[in-house]
């Protein structure tokens, strides 16, 4: 049941979501009824807004930043802003130097490279059909078809 629910939560289109909910209903009708009472926009990717967002739900960045600026918070506003500017400027440069040192021999970071390789492997089985200069229809091996706009960088799969 847990796997079935996660499949519904990770579905990217409303049609996939509906199919996954039907699979849950086959396993347990009461569980499906309970999930139907919940707004899918609150728990399923298929109903999330496509407006840009971050999937990071933790507040660690704010907490970390606040711990670094304790001394600056005791100063006057102008002095505090100058301290924060110097802190951020030096911090960003340290990160750039560290990144340049660590990743200089790579064209793309290894983690991103791994993700790209995985997506390339999946895309190998997809067949694109050109509609016009910017629009394509892509058929996957499972019989699904998606509209892709190269110019707008959008796909009806919503991934």
Give the separation between CA 145 and CA 83, rounded to whole angstroms: 54
Mean pLDDT of the 44-49 span: 89
On the question of pLDDT at 102 being above 90, the answer is no
Cα angle 159, 116, 57 (rounded to 5 degrees) comes to 50
User: Edge-to-edge strands of the sheet including 127-130?
Assistant: 127-130, 135-139, 145-149, 154-155
Q: Tell me if 6 sits within 8 A of 20, measured CB to CB.
A: no
- What percent of the chain has a predicted confidence (pLDDT) above 90? 64
Q: Tell me the per-residue pLDDT of 9-24, one tens digit each, with 9 for 90 and over.
A: 999 999 999 999 999 9
pLDDT the model gives residue 52: 64
Assess contact for 146 and 138: CB atoms under 8 A: yes
Residues forming beta bridges with residue 136, ordered by sequence position: 130, 148
pLDDT of the residue at 64: 81
């Amino acid at each position: 049941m847990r796997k079935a629910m996660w499949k519904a939560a990770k579905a990217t289109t409303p049609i996939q979501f509906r199919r996954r909910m039907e699979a849950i209903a086959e396993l347990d009708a009461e569980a499906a009824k309970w999930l139907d009472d919940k707004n899918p926009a609150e728990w399923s990717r298929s109903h999330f807004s496509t407006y840009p967002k971050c999937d990071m739900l933790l507040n660690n960045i704010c907490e970390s930043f606040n711990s670094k600026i304790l001394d600056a918070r005791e100063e006057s506003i102008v002095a505090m802003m100058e301290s924060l500017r110097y802190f951020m400027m030096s911090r960003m440069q340290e990160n750039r130097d560290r990144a340049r040192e660590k990743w200089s021999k790579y064209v793309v970071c290894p983690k991103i490279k791994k993700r790209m390789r995985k997506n390339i492997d999946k895309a190998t089985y997809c067949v694109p059909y050109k509609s016009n200069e910017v629009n394509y229809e892509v058929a996957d091996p499972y019989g699904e078809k998606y509209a892709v706009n190269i110019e707008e960088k959008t796909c009806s799969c919503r991934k």
